[in-house]
Amino acid sequence: MKKKEKNTVKNKSKSNTKVYLILMIIILGLFFGANYGYSQFQPASSTNQNMTITIPKGSSTNAIANLLEENKLIKNPLAFKLYVKYTKLDAKLKAGKFELSPAMNLQEITNVLVEGNAIIDTVRFTIPEGYNVKQIAKKLADEGLVNETKFLDVLKDGDFDYDFIKQIPRNDNIEYFLEGYLFPETYEIKKGATEKEIIDKMLAQFDKEWKPEWIEAAKNKKLSFHELVTLASIVEREVVADKERPIVAGVFYNRLNDSWNLQSCATVQFVIGKQKDTLTFADLEIKNPYNTYINTGLPPGPIGNPGRKSLEAVIYPAEHDYYFFVTKKDNSGEHYFSKTFAEHQKYDAKSRGNW
């Protein structure tokens, strides 16, 4: 009996050892398996260098996983598929162009693809202050951004939803309804943007630039919103030095208040459609509602698109007794200002002597 009991104990001990060994193998297997599995969710590399990948529209989760692996952004496509399925994000993966890094883990990569932080191909363009719509259309067409004719056609319709547009009068003498309201600025737009989208971007900027406090200040000027923008466009084309914009605006207000003709050369240049260093008497006598040499008051609409400084100048003009100004012609871009015509003639002669 003792021998049998001894063998039983011995066999039991061997059996327990086998169980322990099996358990150890299972535990080690689970440990290494978990460690391996965990590692598959970690960054594919420590290289923190972004790369751009494009996820085509309609791509399946499997296709996205393979694309990420091909670009060495993930270690294992199966791990990616399991992760997005477990987190229920597989249906939320978006198409587009994305910047990803091998140093990102699966969660970070997935977040980018789900949140849709796609890179949009963009292009920048600059509209100089004072350009009229024809100049803008030609510039954008030359840069390959618009069809010139279509761009101008959209400007005639003025079919945009901004409150300030309701204040623009429908006048047959205004060739392009939105002349004056395409704010001069540097813009960034998506490639392939339509003519209407580009125009809308510039109108939105004008809406942003027109300050609420200007509305109250403008009430004392006895001019409508459209007339203020028209006057600002004239100041824009007449002045080079920013410090002179309020002074020139003041000159024009003095003339308007005393029912003088504005006699702005810039309006005549708008009529003839080109910049001339010297206007002839024939130019000054052209019959056109925009010619402020033969018509009293402001022209029907803006002669270009004014910038911030010119808009501000007509809202807050300088108060003085000047009625005349003439360029110094000394390459400074500045003017001589005078109160009387006799004084103006002296400055005009001095200006001519600076050539």
CA distances from 240 to 29, 307, 328, 333, 343 (A): 80, 12, 12, 5, 22
Whether 324 has a pLDDT exceeding 80, the answer reads yes
In a 13 Å sphere around the CA of 336, the CA atoms on its Cβ side amount to 19
Q: Is the dihedral of CA 304, 307, 311, 317 positive or negative?
A: negative
Q: Provide the Cα torsion 193, 194, 197, 203; round to 10°.
A: 110
Whether 307 has a pLDDT exceeding 70, the answer reads yes
pLDDT of residue 354: 61
Whether 247 has a pLDDT exceeding 90, the answer reads yes
Level-2 CATH architecture, domain 51-115? 2-Layer Sandwich (3.30)
pLDDT tens column, 44-73 = 777 777 888 888 988 999 999 999 999 988
CB atoms within 10 A of CB 10: 10
CB atoms within 10 A of CB 266: 21
pLDDT of residue 16: 59
In a 13 Å sphere around the CA of 9, the CA atoms on its Cβ side amount to 6
Give percent of the chain above pLDDT 90.
Answer: 54
SS (H, E, C) the chain: CHHHHHHHHHHHHHHHHHHHHHHHHHHHHHHHHHHHHHHHCCCCCCCCCCEEEEECCCCCHHHHHHHHHHCCCCCCHHHHHHHHHHCCCHHHCCCEEEEECCCCCHHHHHHHHHHCCCCCCEEEEECCCCCCHHHHHHHHHHCCCCCHHHHHHHHHHCCCCCHHHHHCCCCCCCCCCCCCCCCCCEEEEECCCCHHHHHHHHHHHHHHHCCHHHHHHHHHHCCCHHHHHHHHHHHHHHCCCHHHHHHHHHHHHHHHHCCCCCCCHHHHHHHHCCCCCCCCHHHHCCCCCCCCCCCCCCCCCCCCCCCHHHHHHHHCCCCCCCCEEEECCCCCCCEEEECCHHHHHHHHHHHHCCC
Averaged pLDDT of the chain? 87
pLDDT of residue 156: 85
Q: Find the mean pLDDT for residues 288-302.
A: 96
Cα 74 to Cα 59: distance, rounded to the nearest angstrom: 17
pLDDT of residue 22: 66
pLDDT tens column, 333-355 = 899 999 999 999 998 888 777 65
Q: Which residue, chain included where needed, has tokens 């698109």?
A: 305
pLDDT of residue 191: 85
pLDDT of residue 282: 92
pLDDT tens column, 185-228 = 999 888 889 999 999 999 999 999 998 888 888 878 889 999 99
Q: Find the mean pLDDT for residues 114-140.
A: 89
Which pLDDT band, with edges at 50, 70 and 90, does 42 fall under?
confident
Tokens of 293: 């040499």
Is there a contact between 111 and 141 (Cβ–Cβ < 8 Å)? no
pLDDT tens column, 1-37 = 555 555 555 555 556 566 555 665 666 555 554 455 5
Give percent of the chain above pLDDT 70.
Answer: 87
Whether 248 has a pLDDT exceeding 80, the answer reads yes
pLDDT of residue 164: 93
Q: Which sequence spans correspond to the domains of the chain?
A: 51-115, 122-209, 212-352
Whether 287 has a pLDDT exceeding 60, the answer reads yes
Tokens of 174: 């205004």
| Higher pLDDT, residue 12 or 293 | 293
pLDDT of residue 198: 96
